[in-house]
């Protein structure tokens, strides 16, 4: 009878869309990750108060968790906080302690972020609590580039030019950005070292220099240039020199991004007045279309860090955040919005949400479609976010 009870439990788990994983003689349950169709993982919280509790719950929510009572939870988080935070994590299904740690030396917010990251690491996930975002904040017709913590706290201006700016893009693994600015007249791409404050013109040609995207190894930059008469995709060395032209089209290309292995560049191509997602070898070669079945006019693509997905904006009357397998296929429509950018965990996305005449930034957990607005960022026109990888 005991063996029959175990098989019955396994069968119920499978019917519920759960996958059992053996470990230490116990049954551990993990949810299959399906964009837009995954249930949140249930956790309970006890002992945390005030700001620490708010940070922990926020971080969990935008990474696919939902807080519930202890009896229903798969994971149990407990602890306390004064000047410093103490935290514990337990897998209730496997009856296994995952984490017990004290945090000090940083502010309480950072301690709470770190605790959630450590919990996620204990269940073999990638945390995002210490990550940064960059974005554009507009005032009137001009704007500035800002950097903030991933949840919108501690916003800091990068530029103070009072000029049109576009498309901040992080240099991987460094506190440095590329972005497009009209500071010198025609739109030019600048490189900006955030640690030293040093910046310089990276691409300044006749016509427009737009949409910088840095390769995963930081050695190359894809961009959209019109220096040869048409608006085409180019790639150049991050150390400088003449960029290589990859496309030759009378239609506009836009929004380049890199595959996680650095071998491909994805971009939005315009063919017969309609947009399509395409990719091209980073060294040049044949253009390959990426099918996006079910939606029209895809634009603003970004490849997930794990290489499995491409998130993009679809323009069909309104703007919609969508995701498609990196090789193309059936599209999952997620939420209204635009300007998507992946977090390092390849599941959370930051995007722009329109409201009346303003724009604000929001966070989306792609598997569960859970959304949190980032109300702490000042201003009513913030857009074009980029997540540091």
Domain finish residue from 122, 145, 165:
122
pLDDT of residue 40 exceeding 90, the answer is yes
Q: Is residue 245 very low, low, confident or very high in pLDDT (cuts 50, 70, 90)? A: very high
- Together in a domain, 167 and 234: yes
Residue 15: pLDDT over 60: no
Q: Which domain holds residue 304?
A: 132-387
Report the pLDDT value the prediction gives residue 85, as an integer from 0 to 100. 98
91 with 150, same domain?
Answer: no
Is residue 245 domain-shared with residue 345, that is, in the same domain? Answer: yes
Residue 90, pLDDT > 60, answer yes
In the chain, the number of structural domains is: 2
pLDDT for 229 equals 80
Q: Over 50: is that where the pLDDT of 9 sits?
A: no
CA distance 353 to 338: 7
* Same domain flag for 116 and 140: no
Torsions phi, psi of 297, nearest 5? 50, 55
| CATH code, domain with 219 | 2.120.10.30
What confidence category does residue 24 fall into, taking pLDDT thresholds of 50, 70 and 90?
very low
Residue 13: pLDDT band with limits 50, 70, 90: very low
Both 301 and 346 in one domain: the answer is yes
Rounded CA-CA distance 298/296 in Å is: 6
> 32 pLDDT band (50/70/90 cuts)?
low
pLDDT at 263 over 70: yes
User: Residue 342 in contact with residue 333, Cβ under 8 Å?
Assistant: no
**Rounded CA separation 344/321 (Å):** 18
Same domain flag for 227 and 245: yes
Assess whether 267 and 297 both reside in one domain. Answer: yes
Quick: pLDDT tens for 157-209.
999 999 999 999 999 999 999 999 999 888 999 999 999 999 999 999 888 99
Q: Between residues 317 and 181, which one has the greater pLDDT?
A: 181
Instruction: State the pLDDT at residue 129.
Output: 97
Could you tell me if 88 and 141 lie in one domain? no
Six-digit token pair at 267? Answer: 């971009």
14: enclosing H helix or E strand: helix 2-15
CATH of the domain at 107: 3.40.50.10070
Where b means 16+ CB within 10 Å and e means fewer, 361-388 reads bbbbbbbbbbbbebeebebebbbbbbbb
Q: Among residues 72, 96, 122, which one ends one of the domains? A: 122
Residue 105: how many CB atoms within 10 A of its CB? 8
Q: Are residues 200 and 53 in the same domain?
A: no
Kindly indicate the confidence band of residue 252, based on its pLDDT and cuts at 50, 70 and 90: confident
At residue 27, does pLDDT exceed 70?
no
Q: Is the pLDDT reported for residue 282 higher than 90?
A: yes
pTM of the predicted model as reported, rounded to 2 decimal places:
0.90
Lowest mean pLDDT among 67-81, 230-244, 263-277: 263-277
Window from 10-24, 113-127, 189-203, 375-389 with minimum mean pLDDT? 10-24
- Residue-averaged pLDDT of the chain: 90
Report pLDDT for 272: 74
Q: What is the pLDDT of residue 26?
A: 35
Statement to judge: residues 104 and 173 lie in one domain: no
53 and 176, same domain (yes or no): no
* Residue 367 maps to a domain: yes
Within a domain: 331: yes
**Is 7 part of any domain?**
no
pLDDT in tens, 216-231: 999 999 999 998 888 9
Residues 300, 267 contacting (CB under 8 angstroms): no
Mean pLDDT to the nearest integer, 288-306: 95
Residues 362, 311 share a domain: yes
Last residue of a domain, one of 122, 147, 173: 122
Give the Cβ contact number of residue 19 at 10 Å: 11
Ramachandran category for residue 15: left, alpha or beta (phi over 0 → left; psi -120 to 50 → alpha): alpha
């Amino acid at each position: 009878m005991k063996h029959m009870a175990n098989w019955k439990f396994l069968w119920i788990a499978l019917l519920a869309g759960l996958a059992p994983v053996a470990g230490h003689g116990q049954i551990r349950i993990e949810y299959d990750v399906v964009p837009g169709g995954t249930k949140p993982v249930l956790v309970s919280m006890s002992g945390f108060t005030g700001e620490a509790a708010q940070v922990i719950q926020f971080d969990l929510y935008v990474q696919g968790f939902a807080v519930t009572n202890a009896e229903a939870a798969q994971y149990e988080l407990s602890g306390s906080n004064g000047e410093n935070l103490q935290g514990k994590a337990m897998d209730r299904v496997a009856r296994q302690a995952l984490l017990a740690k004290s945090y000090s030396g940083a502010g309480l917010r950072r301690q709470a972020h770190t605790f959630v990251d450590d919990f996620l690491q204990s269940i073999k996930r990638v945390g995002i609590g210490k990550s940064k975002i960059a974005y554009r904040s507009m005032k009137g017709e001009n704007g500035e580039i800002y950097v903030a913590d991933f949840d919108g706290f501690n916003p800091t201006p990068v530029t103070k030019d009072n000029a049109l700016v576009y498309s901040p893009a992080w240099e991987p693994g460094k506190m440095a950005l590329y972005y497009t600015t009209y500071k010198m007249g025609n739109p030019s791409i600048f490189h900006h070292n955030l640690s030293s404050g040093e910046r310089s013109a990276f691409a300044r040609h006749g016509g427009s220099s737009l949409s910088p995207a840095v390769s995963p190894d930081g050695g190359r930059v894809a961009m959209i240039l019109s220096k040869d008469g048409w608006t085409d995709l180019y790639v150049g060395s991050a150390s400088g020199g003449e960029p290589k032209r990859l496309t030759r089209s009378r239609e506009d290309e836009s929004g380049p991004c890199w595959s996680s292995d650095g071998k491909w560049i994805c971009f939005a191509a315009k063919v017969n007045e309609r947009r399509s997602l395409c990719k091209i070898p980073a060294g040049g070669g044949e253009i390959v279309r990426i099918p996006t079945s079910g939606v029209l006019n895809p634009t603003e693509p970004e490849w997930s860090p794990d290489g499995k997905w491409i998130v993009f904006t679809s323009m069909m009357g309104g703007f919609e955040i969508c995701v498609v397998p990196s090789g193309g296929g059936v599209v999952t429509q997620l939420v209204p919005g635009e300007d998507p950018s992946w977090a390092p965990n390849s599941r959370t996305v930051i995007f722009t949400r329109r409201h009346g005449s303003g724009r604000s930034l929001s966070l989306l957990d792609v598997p569960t479609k859970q959304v949190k607005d980032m109300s702490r960022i000042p201003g009513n026109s913030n857009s074009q976010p980029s997540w540091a990888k």
